[in-house]
Amino acid sequence: MCEANAYLLSDGGETLIMESVDDVIPEGDGLKLVNIFGEQKFVRAAIHSLSLVDHKVFLKDLER
């Protein structure tokens, strides 16, 4: 399995926004996240960093 969990970074740390993310697709002014179950979520965020060993995608909010 190569899925990752997506976290939104904030001053208070990190918040899990989607588990088992399979696709991260740039779309308009944000990112579309799609998990292995076909669930989709759009976030106004950009990729901050990836931790491939830990299967984590860290996003930074663009609305700040």
Tens digit of each residue's pLDDT (9 = 90 or more) over 20-48: 999 999 999 999 999 999 999 999 999 99
Residue 10 has pLDDT above 70, yes or no: yes
Domain span at residue 26 reads 4-61
Tell me the pLDDT of the chain averaged across its residues: 94
Give the closest residue to 57 by CA, choosing from 21, 26, 13. 21
Q: Residue 64's pLDDT is what?
A: 60
Domain count for the chain: 1
pLDDT at 1: 61
**Distance separating alpha carbons of residues 6 and 42, to the nearest angstrom:** 12
pLDDT of residue 63: 77
* Contact indicator for 43, 51 with CB cutoff of 8 Å: no
Spatial strand order of the sheet with 30-35 comes to 40-43, 30-35, 13-27, 4-10, 56-61, 45-51
Q: What percent of the chain has pLDDT over 70?
A: 97
